């Protein structure tokens, strides 16, 4: 085990943005997450990796209160999640789920404006600050020129950027991304991951479920490895990119070399 975690601090001594303690979540009699404890470091890009069905997406959903844990506690900035109202929680955490609908009759600007909902006044009207946040999010994701187009008419990559612009407009300090590169070509995958990493330079915490291990090693600061509903290892990419660990978790034989461009670990599967 390479657990690099303690009750109050994690990567490079950073305090926790989200603390999970003894978390258990079951669907009926089936346990998906069992007694999981972890502190997600504030201001870092944490990649959640692990085989299909190990509980990664379920964990993210529990961090947003979409799913209610069977047991255990979750704290956001050291405050119990249960103490947050729905609006206050949405001001703290932005979540981009794995499966996104294709809204009919909604323009990109209207979609991005939904990100301001947690900040709306009692009448639900947009103020000057909301409009500025929307325009800034459109610009950051390079979708300003698409703002008046319908989301349903966009390509997959454009649509994904529009959805990410929506959560950027939300201006939450914690961003959760569930497989944000799914269905994207390599150009748009890199674009999304570079942007996710850039969010940490602005002081935000990013937690993303990723399947491509080399992308996780290259773009994330911190890696959390799940297997069978539990966290089995965590740490920097170099700490986690160990052939024995990866064999145990993913049932693959591999060697680790250095990425010639980024000097981060690169997994090469053996035939």
Cα–Cα–Cα angle for 29, 228, 225, rounded to 5 degrees: 145
State the average pLDDT for the chain: 90
Q: What is the pLDDT of residues 27-47, one digit of tens each?
A: 888 899 999 999 999 999 999
What pLDDT does residue 11 have? 53
What pLDDT does residue 148 have? 96
What pLDDT does residue 7 have? 33
Residues contacting residue 186 through CB under 8 Å, at least 6 positions apart: none
Which of the residues in the chain have pLDDT under 50? Answer: 1-10, 12
Domain 16-269: top CATH class: alpha beta
- Residue extents of the structural domains in the chain: 16-269
Residues contacting residue 51 through CB under 8 Å, at least 6 positions apart: 227, 249, 250, 251
Cα 206 from Cα 175, distance rounded (Å): 5
Residues contacting residue 239 through CB under 8 Å, at least 6 positions apart: 2, 4, 223
Q: Within the chain, where are the H helices?
A: 56-63, 86-92, 108-113, 128-140, 156-170, 186-201, 213-219, 237-240, 243-250
Cα 56 from Cα 72, distance rounded (Å): 17
HSE-CB at 96 with a 13 A cutoff on CA atoms is: 31
Cα 231 from Cα 36, distance rounded (Å): 6
DSSP β-ladder status, 16-27 and 71-76: antiparallel
What pLDDT does residue 15 have? 87
């Amino acid at each position: 085990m390479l657990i690099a975690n303690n009750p109050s601090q994690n990567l490079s001594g950073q305090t926790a943005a989200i603390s999970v303690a003894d978390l258990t979540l079951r669907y009926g009699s089936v346990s998906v997450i069992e007694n999981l404890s972890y502190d997600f470091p504030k201001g870092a890009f944490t990649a959640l990796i692990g085989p299909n069905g190990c509980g990664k997406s379920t964990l993210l959903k529990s961090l947003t209160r979409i799913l209610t844990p069977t047991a255990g506690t979750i704290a956001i900035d050291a405050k119990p999640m249960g103490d947050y109202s729905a609006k206050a929680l949405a001001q703290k955490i932005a979540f981009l789920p794995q499966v996104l609908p294709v809204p009919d009759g909604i323009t990109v600007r209207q979609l991005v404006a939904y990100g301001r909902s947690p900040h709306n006044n009692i009448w639900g009207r947009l103020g000057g600050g909301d409009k500025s946040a929307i325009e800034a999010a459109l610009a950051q994701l390079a979708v300003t020129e698409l703002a008046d187009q319908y989301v349903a008419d966009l390509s997959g990559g454009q649509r994904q950027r529009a959805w990410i612009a929506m959560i950027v407009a939300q201006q939450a300090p914690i961003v959760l991304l569930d497989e944000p590169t799914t269905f994207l070509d390599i150009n748009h995958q890199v674009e999304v991951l570079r942007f996710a990493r850039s969010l940490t330079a602005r002081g935000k915490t990013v937690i993303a479920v990723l399947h491509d291990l080399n992308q996780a090693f290259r773009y994330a600061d911190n890696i959390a490895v799940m297997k069978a509903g539990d966290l089995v290892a965590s740490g920097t990419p170099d700490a986690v990119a160990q052939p024995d660990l990866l064999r145990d978790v993913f049932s693959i034989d591999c060697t680790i070399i250095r990425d010639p461009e980024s000097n981060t670990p690169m997994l090469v599967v053996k035939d």
